[in-house]
Amino acid sequence: MGPSYRDMLRATAPRRGAEARAAASMALAWALQRFPFLSHVALLTLCAIGPIFAPQLLAFCLVAVHIVFVVCQSRTAYGIFACWRGTLAHSKRDWAQWWAEQKRDLERMGKGDHVLALAGVQHVIILPAYKEDMATLRESLNVLASHPMASHSYYVCLGMEEREAGAPSKAQSLVDDYCKRGCFADFSYSLHPGNIIGESAGKSSNVNWAARHMARRRDVASQRRTIVTVMDADTAFASDFFLASAAHFSLARPEVRRRMMFVPPTLFDRNSADVPIFTRATDIFWSCAGIGGIYPSSWCKIPTSAYAVSLDLARFCDFWDAGPEAIGEDLHFYCKAMFETKGNVKAITIYSPASQCNVVGNPGTGPVSSYIQDMLARWTQATRHLWGSLDFGYCWHRILTGQIGRSRPKQGYMALETSAHAADERLRQQNQQLQQNVVDLPGNSRTPSPSVTATTDSSDDTLTEFTLTRVRKTTQFDGSVLPSVAIPIDVNVNDKDGNHDDYLKDVHDEDDDEDDDEALLLLDVDDAAGEDDKLRILPIIVLMTRLYEAHLMIAQVFLIGFLITIYPSAILRNGHIVFTDVYARACTVSDCVQSIFESPFAAGAELPVGTPPGLHPTWMMPTIVFCALRAARFLGGLGILATVSMCAIHDCYHHVAATVRWQASDNILKEFRRQAPSMTRDSPLAAITQTPPRYLGQRPHQNCKRRWPAALLDFAAIPAGLLYGIAPLLWAQLNHVVTNKLTYTVSAKSKTVVVVPGARGLQAVASATPRRSFERVRASMEMTRMSSTVNLPATLAANAATLAVVEEKRESSRRLHP
């Protein structure tokens, strides 16, 4: 006898319940995606009818929004001040010496068993590169290769896109070049498929694929000591960012180390002089907005563009999301990590600024056309940045659905996975079932990532909704696992006599390696332990506040302040409309308190005392709204004052970050050359391995200084905040009413080619560069030529050779054409 109808209902109840919860979750996500724009519409409605029907609510919103504005701008000004002082202090610190002192203190207290060797910390560096020109990629790679630790500790991955024609050959040429010179401990590239179901084109999906690719290349012991740094193709880090990150990472307890994140400030110091004033001012405000929240005592440190995370944290969070909601990958990953770890992300500010370029547009037919193209390019970039307001709905969705803690990967997501799932029979069975549901596109061919022999299945971008069973696609690899340390090195500091030992020694110490492995194996914590993390409410509350400030508050301050300011203050009985207060009403505290309980003024109500003839109103602005407007204007003035202070302090920070610390690095290098001339002449390897810890490496060839008082003129472009801040925010949120997908386009980042190997290098630079920029590039190249004689890492030597060829050609040209 078969099962009864009741038994069948009972058996299918869990599935029906899960389907109902999934439907409710999707409906909630749909509503939250549209909430930001609808909130603006609601605010406009309140401004229109609030003075008549809801003056108390309008007054509360008016004052509350401006209070948040003042707090936000004041905190940002403080954050910029902390960044200015922090960058100065950071550049003066010998991080190897600091690490040794901290280690000795821990050992003295009997708490140093978990400390890793500083040289044993490995850095996986991901450079997403979609349609980036070779000059940009080479400059970023040259800067990295000039760092003293690069050949020992840097594992670089170019995140290439399959959608880019010629990507494999371009990446392979770079890999061959830098591997031949031994610039990095490892250099590889990944090739991200462009048609994975549920993914959107952009940095997040590229980084996600590259991070999984690099994780698979690391053995278990290496993963425990690995930091993953994500940067843009044009970002330039100084070497002390990686050294300071490694110092903090190696000293942290294992349970803290697995939740660590390293957040640098940003600095636009490359091509600022060559972009429109509106672009320059907007990027300063954008940089300040990010820096203002990462001061050391902040509960929430949201990264901007470039940052680093422990590989354990990336694995715990199932790497990066790759859907349309993750278009702003830096903010989205931070939000995801906060919820996955229940607010236990340990974010540390590293005051070694990430140097970046301002965006530029396509070349125009003339100066005016180029100016307009640059402005349009900044609008496109601003829209892409503010498309990240989707994270406001993402975070609220996780809160309202109780998704605080480690979650399962999204359904239907197929991508490269780590070896942790390779032996899972259940996942292999699900993968076989998945093959039957995959859409096979005719004529679709792809080149796998360098170490991948199986490719991700084809999918179609037109399939916007495609429900699959939870599955992780596991690929097979033919690459061998790399050793934990390619060239074991030690980091030593001052001995008892105060003598400074070698910073990097090419010495293999087996005892130190064994101690590190023991510390990792005995004191480390399994991934599952993260599920027992204690919930920390305050960091999540602060995160939600910051999201409100970034994605709602700035637009609401403008909308409510502007509309109430132009709202009539009275409508007279003779039909005239008055926009100023003609009744000389006072706004004392007692008047404001009393007005809370008053009804809006209407015809027939008692007139204000002393009302002149002819000014009898039919309607007048309620006292509570009138007082709230005065308070809002006062608060707005305080906010503007904080903004002016922020801009002034930013220029101090810019001077330290773009000039002072690099001058100090050059002086340290000169002193190093003076003290050891025979070593630098007779032993190039010794010069490389014994480079002073405070040496920052090679600086990008393009750089720009902000000189007072001329720099103050930039802040006359404050209306750019409306053009590139509020307008693209409203435009993005308007589009979110109908879609969450954005067509991702790569912004150009420089008009100037700065690294051109070959005989005609200088002619190529000069032909593509304004005279003013060319002079800066040439001066910078001359400085590089002078400093490259110290025999620093291989890239500096290669650059010196390139410049020597250029000089030789120039000299030959002079002899031929005196």
Residues 206, 424: Cα–Cα separation, whole Å: 26
Torsion sign over Cα 273, 277, 279, 281? positive
Q: What is the largest CA-CA distance in the chain?
A: 107
Cis bond upstream, residue 693 (ω within 30): no
Residues 505, 100: Cα–Cα separation, whole Å: 16
Neighbour-count burial of 29, counting CB atoms closer than 10 A to its CB (0-12 exposed, 13-18 middle, 19+ buried): middle
pTM for the structure as a whole: 0.79
- The pLDDT > 90 percentage for the chain reads 43
> Is the Cβ–Cβ distance between 276 and 360 less than 8 Å?
no
Query: Which range among 84-98, 139-153, 162-176, 593-607 shows the weakest confidence by mean pLDDT?
Result: 593-607
**H/E element, 523:** helix 510-523
Contacting residues for 616 by C-beta, under 8 A, at least 6 apart: 572, 573, 607
494-549: per-residue pLDDT in tens? 443 444 444 444 333 444 454 554 444 434 444 544 556 789 999 999 999 999 99
Q: Point out which residues pair with 188 in neighbouring strands.
A: 157
Cα 657 to the center of its chain, rounded Å: 18
Contacting residues for 703 by C-beta, under 8 A, at least 6 apart: 269, 270, 658, 776, 780
8-20: per-residue pLDDT in tens? 656 666 777 778 8
* Domain segments of the chain as ranges: 753-818
Q: What is the band of 594 on the pLDDT scale with cuts at 50, 70, 90?
A: confident
- Between the CA of residue 756 and those of 238, 635, 702, 799, what are the distances in Å? 22, 52, 13, 10
207-250: per-residue pLDDT in tens? 999 999 999 888 888 889 999 999 999 999 999 999 999 999 99
pLDDT higher at 171 or 411: 171
> Is the Cβ–Cβ distance between 416 and 473 less than 8 Å?
yes
- Tokens 């401006």 correspond to 66
Which runs of consecutive H residues, i.e. helices, occur in 146-217?
150-153, 167-180, 203-216
> Is the Cβ–Cβ distance between 489 and 152 less than 8 Å?
yes
